[in-house]
A = this chain, B = another copy of it.
Amino acid sequence: MDESELPFESVSGLRLAAVAAGIRYQGRDDLAVFELRTGSQCAAAFTRNAFCAAPVALAKRHLASATPRYLLVNAGNANAGTGRAGLDDARSSCEALAGLAGCRPEEVLPFSTGVIGEPLPVARMTAALPGALERLEPGAWPAAARAIMTTDRVPKLVSRRFELDGRLATLTGIAKGAGMICPDLATMLAFLATDATVAPGPLQACLKGALEGSFNAITIDGDTSTNDASVLVATGALGNPPIQDAAGGALSALQAAVESVCQELATAIVRDGEGATKLVRVAVEEARTREEARRVAYTVAHSPLVKTALFASDPNWGRILAAVGRAGIPDVDIERVRIHLDRVLIVESGGRSAGYTEEAGAAVMVKPEIPIRIALGRGSARAEVLTCDLSYDYVRINAEYRT
């Protein structure tokens, strides 16, 4: 894909660069640097995997003690499962960038993605940093979106314009992720930036609010990563009256833009899921609680039997029904459960719907996007999870990766 095919808007107050450091891949960029204008604010959310990677641990510490000026991102090596040496390596890479850029190491946030358990090649990263700093420019978003890819087939880059107190604000974001995707608080890696002026509190609230319906509602393989991180930068270059609290329309305009960009990036991640041939939207309705609805949705979305049936374009609703039944919902009544494939009612009264035909089901299943709607008939809560099918290529990619 030509980079000119990726439409986007630069974000005033933020420059970035992508370079080839030879961390794991050859002949492609694998290191990205983001430079944030002085006065920028930065919100972040990280994986809840108990064994979070060294860069995640260090980024949390740096965020607690300073306001970030740089984001340093590498692909090809996750610097996870690397013990204390991994923490030292992450710190060294921040120190190297800080020394060249003239800031404190705490003002650099490190992010890594790639293979777990191998030492981070700090020397190769450090050697590539001067070239990265020389190339910093506002328009390198497509290059950065490519540089952070691992098993991704396509870069993920989304922009929005929105109005803020009479000014036209910009929000642009990139994300990566195709496997080990079942984010819990954040996704593999996502970096969003706006030129709006926003105080830290509302900025963090904005990111948190957007995650629940986007990155925290997708799964490819159920494997929550050690390196998940989402960042939302506000450079303040727009010069709008600062968004200080939840009052007024400015925050809702920003919130809407952040949600929209996060949802589009999250959808792009699932569409690019390892080996994915179909995008599947599992919506669970009429649950007693949202938690119950999410539990059923994830059980269906994680079922290898449902996912292989989706790959085969087989409207095997029995597998969906069996997955709902094993989700551990107390006293769920099969007689009240209704399941739709798109608009086709396939299950009611404990079995196949009277009006259902295999032809009608098959007509939905051959589509590239498949909505599965499950009504539990016991309440009014709902939840939705995006996932993909399970194909030969998923096995190939994950059997071959690392070798």
- Within 81-131 of A, Cβ neighbours of B (below 8 Å) are at 81-86, 115-117
Across the interface, do A180 and B117 meet the contact criterion of CB distance under 8 Å?
Answer: no
Q: Is A309 an interface residue, CB under 8 A from the partner?
A: yes
Across the interface, do B305 and A399 meet the contact criterion of CB distance under 8 Å?
Answer: no
User: Given the known A-B contacts A81-B317, A399-B314, are A322 and B392 also in contact in the complex, defined by CB atoms under 8 Å?
Assistant: no
Contact code string A337-355 (vs B, CB < 8 Å = 1, else 0): 1000000000101111000
Smallest beta-carbon distance A305→chain B, Å = 5
The number of chain A residues with a CB under 8 A from chain B is 67
Q: Which residues of B contact A80 (CB under 8 A)?
A: 318, 321-322
- Within 29-80 of A, Cβ neighbours of B (below 8 Å) are at 48-52, 78, 80
Contact code string A162-201 (vs B, CB < 8 Å = 1, else 0): 0000000000000000011010100000000000000000
Across the interface, do A309 and B221 meet the contact criterion of CB distance under 8 Å?
Answer: no
CA A308 to CA B184, docked complex, whole Å: 22
Report the nearest B residue to A354, measured CB to CB. Answer: B83
Across the interface, do A226 and B322 meet the contact criterion of CB distance under 8 Å?
Answer: yes
User: Given the known A-B contacts A305-B179, A322-B223, A325-B49, are A312 and B399 also in contact in the complex, defined by CB atoms under 8 Å?
Assistant: yes
User: Given the known A-B contacts A81-B321, A318-B80, A318-B115, are A395 and B399 also in contact in the complex, defined by CB atoms under 8 Å?
Assistant: no
Q: Is A8 an interface residue, CB under 8 A from the partner?
A: no
Across the interface, do B352 and A81 meet the contact criterion of CB distance under 8 Å?
Answer: yes
Contact of A352 among B48, B117, B317, B322 (CB under 8 A): B117
- Within 382-403 of A, Cβ neighbours of B (below 8 Å) are at 390-392, 394-396, 398-400, 402-403
Across the interface, do B403 and A322 meet the contact criterion of CB distance under 8 Å?
Answer: no
Would you give 19 A-B contacts (Cβ < 8 Å), ordered by A?
Answer: A50-B325, A51-B350, A78-B318, A81-B317, A81-B321, A81-B347, A84-B349, A116-B319, A116-B321, A221-B303, A222-B303, A222-B304, A226-B325, A304-B394, A304-B398, A308-B398, A314-B402, A316-B402, A392-B395
Across the interface, do B326 and A81 meet the contact criterion of CB distance under 8 Å?
Answer: no
Contact code string A366-395 (vs B, CB < 8 Å = 1, else 0): 000000000000000000000000111011
- Within 147-172 of A, Cβ neighbours of B (below 8 Å) are at none
Across the interface, do B224 and A326 meet the contact criterion of CB distance under 8 Å?
Answer: yes
Q: Is A211 an interface residue, CB under 8 A from the partner?
A: no
Across the interface, do A225 and B403 meet the contact criterion of CB distance under 8 Å?
Answer: no
Across the interface, do B394 and A308 meet the contact criterion of CB distance under 8 Å?
Answer: yes
Across the interface, do B221 and A304 meet the contact criterion of CB distance under 8 Å?
Answer: yes
Across the interface, do B399 and A117 meet the contact criterion of CB distance under 8 Å?
Answer: no
Q: Is A332 an interface residue, CB under 8 A from the partner?
A: yes
